[in-house]
Structure 1
Amino acid sequence: MSVEEQVREFGRVWAAAEERGDTEVLAELVTDGFRLVGPLGFVLDRDQWLARYAGGGLVTEKLGWTEVEVREFGGTAIAIGVHEQVATHQGNPVNGRFRATHVLVHADDRWRLAGIHLSPIGVPFTPGGDRR
């Protein structure tokens, strides 16, 4: 299986675990030094990220990981795609569609997630100030 196929399969496993709120699987998928940068610029470490599901705080009904482009750099892979979620956090809707960058590292014959960065999807800025 190619690196791209491995990373895409990893993404499917990750998204399914998020939908189930399966913190045991999620803990196995990430590195100890994992960080998430959220769409509003907040940063969660591994323990904070896993704790989102504690006591039903985060409920993810649907999580799509699509339009994924994978690039490999030795033992590191960068996957950029679209993260689309239907979810609630502490009873409040946190639905959204974000551009996401996943940083994966290959160690001990498997891929693990070292970081996720989420950004709102906007319109590119072009020279001259035009937005298209």
Structure 2
Amino acid sequence: MITHPQELADFPRRWADAERRGDVEALRQLLTDDFTAVGPLGFVLDKQRWLDRYASGALVHDDFAWSEVTVRRYGGAAVAVGVQGQQSVYEGRDLDGHFRVTQTIVEEDGRWKLAAVHLSPTGAR
């Protein structure tokens, strides 16, 4: 069991930093093996496909901000809700936007890891 509440409090910042940098190795450590992402248009990505976007160079962030984050813990799991703002390019296409994001964070092997993320567009640019 994780006894350091600060690790959970720091998790959203560590995740956002790794996303901003496109740091595949840091993200590999932060995501569960069965990680699932639901994108803003309903597509689903597993861990490998999430990481491949960075490893291939297809996804590049000029800016990536994770704000208005609240984290609620439920035993060995937690839910984080926040706003993701990004200036990004994917395969040459503009992906700038703002999204309401829900993360499911779980305790695994004494560490907090991201098991799922769901993005919904807010309409703001």
Q: TM-score, normalised by structure 1?
A: 0.85
Deviation at 1:9, TM superposition (A): 1.1
Deviation at 1:63, TM superposition (A): 1.1
User: Aligned residue for 1:114?
Assistant: 115
> 2: distance between equivalents of 1:118 and 1:7?
20
> 2: distance between equivalents of 1:87 and 1:93?
6
> 2: distance between equivalents of 1:8 and 1:39?
25
Deviation at 1:93, TM superposition (A): 0.8
Are 1:70 and 2:71 counterparts? yes
> 2: distance between equivalents of 1:85 and 1:6?
25
Q: Deviations over 1:64-91 (max 9, x none)?
A: 1111111111100000010111110011
User: Aligned residue for 1:25?
Assistant: 26
Q: How many equivalent pairs are there?
A: 121
Bigger Rg, which one: 1
Deviation at 1:92, TM superposition (A): 0.9
Deviation at 1:55, TM superposition (A): 2.8
Conserved? CA contact 1:57–1:90, under 8 Å? yes
Letter in structure 2 aligned against 1:109:
G
User: Aligned residue for 1:52?
Assistant: 53
Question: Aligned-residue CA RMSD in angstroms?
Answer: 1.5
**Gapped regions of structure 1 (runs ≥ 5):** 123-132
Letter in structure 1 aligned against 2:60:
V
Which structure has more relative contact order (CA 8 Å, sep 6+)? It is 2
Percent identity for Structure 1 against Structure 2: 50
Which runs of 4 or more aligned residues in structure 1 lie more than 2 Å from their structure 2 counterparts after TM superposition? 5-8
Deviation at 1:10, TM superposition (A): 1.1
Deviation at 1:11, TM superposition (A): 1.2
Structure 1 counterpart SS, 2:41: coil
The 3 A distance-change label for structure 1 pair 45 and 107 is same
Deviation at 1:56, TM superposition (A): 1.4
